[in-house]
Amino acid sequence: MESDIKLIDDNGKRLDGRAPDELRKIKIEVGVLHRAEGSCYLEWGGNKVMVAVYGPKEALPRHTQNPLRAIVNARYNMAAFSVDDRKRPGPDRRSREISKVISEALEKVILLEKFPRASIDVNIEVLNAEAGTRCAGLTAAGVALADAGIPLKDIPVSCAAGKIDGHVVLDLGKEEDNFGDADLPIAISPRTNEILLLQMDGHLTVEEFDKALEMAINGCHIASDIQKKAIMDKYQSAPEVK
């Protein structure tokens, strides 16, 4: 797609002044909701996301229960005021798809066998959206799960790469997402680099795809360090429970 605006200038700087392999600013707060078992508030550039984890608890209705393991119900929801034009509230095709892929990504890192017949609810509320909300949501969900004390194999983390004006870049911003050529959000388990989620919007050649994937994995590792620091800051000085 040819765009009228130039997304990347002659010096290789992007619209918001970032280098091609630079992330937006990430801020994470752990344990912000008192009634939830685990929670996290995350700001990723202009994205603002709040995640609450409830459970494990008995899965209802009972036919959804799995006698061998827990089920994960992630619910991605965009607030009506999260975008410039009011979003019609409630689940739609897009949010249902995102909820499904996030649930499946989280199932891969949670030790589900410890809680047969249970469900773990992960509510992801997007308060402000600016491209890459599913990555922000999943990254926050990982922190909230750790905060809830749910046994995890790793803290999942997510980041996107994409293509704008023919260049492969990391973490697309709003204009880059709207007028760019491709978007590649991924989620990984950072200790093993196992891919938990991979979606692609637009077209990439095989070489571009490989480059974007490598770039996104690097981005995930940077975000992962911020996640870990946020958890450590909250609990480093905290006394042990029991």
**Cβ-based neighbour number of residue 178 at 10 Å:** 12
Q: Is 155 in the site for another protein (CB under 8 A)?
A: yes
58 is a site residue for another protein (CB under 8 A) = yes
Q: Specify the residue for token string 């393991």.
A: 69
Q: Does 141 bind another protein (CB under 8 A)?
A: no
Secondary structure of 50-80 as H, E, C letters? EEEEEEEEECCCHHHCCCCCCEEEEEEEECC
Binding part of the chain for another protein, among 7-15, 93-101, 153-161, 215-223 by CB under 8 A, reads 153-161
Minimum Å gap between C-beta 143 and another protein is 10
- Contact between 242 and another protein by CB under 8 A: the answer reads yes
Residues in contact with 1: Cβ distance below 8 Å, sequence separation at least 6, in sequence order:
179, 181
What letter would DSSP give residue 87?
A: P
Near another protein by CB under 8 A: residue from 15, 57, 79, 198: 57
- How far apart (Å, rounded) are the C-alpha atoms in residues 6 and 4? 7
**Residue 11 found at the interface with another protein (CB under 8 A):** no
What's the min distance (Å) between Cβ of 111 and another protein?
Answer: 6
Q: Which of 173, 189, 197, 215 binds another protein (CB under 8 A)?
A: 189
52 scored as a contact of another protein (CB under 8 A): no
Query: What's the min distance (Å) between Cβ of 177 and another protein?
Result: 31
Among 71, 78, 105, 118, binds another protein (CB under 8 A): 118
- The region of 11-19, 178-186, 187-195, 210-218 touching another protein under the rule CB under 8 A is 187-195
Taking CB under 8 A as the criterion, the residue among 45, 55, 137, 219 binding another protein is 55
d(C-alpha 180, C-alpha 42), whole Å: 25
b/e map 212-234, b = 16+ CB within 10 Å:
bbebbbebbebbbebbbebbeeb
Q: Please state, in angstroms and rounded to a whole number, the distance separating the CA atoms of residues 10 and 181.
A: 18
148 binds another protein (CB under 8 A): yes
Q: Which residue's CB is nearer to another protein, number 23 or number 145?
A: 145
Q: Which two tokens stand for residue 162?
A: 């994409």
Residue 90 as a binder of another protein (CB under 8 A): the answer is no
Radius of gyration of the chain (CA): 18
* List of residues contacting another protein (CB under 8 A): 37-38, 55-58, 111, 115-118, 146-155, 189-191, 228, 231-232, 235-236, 238-242
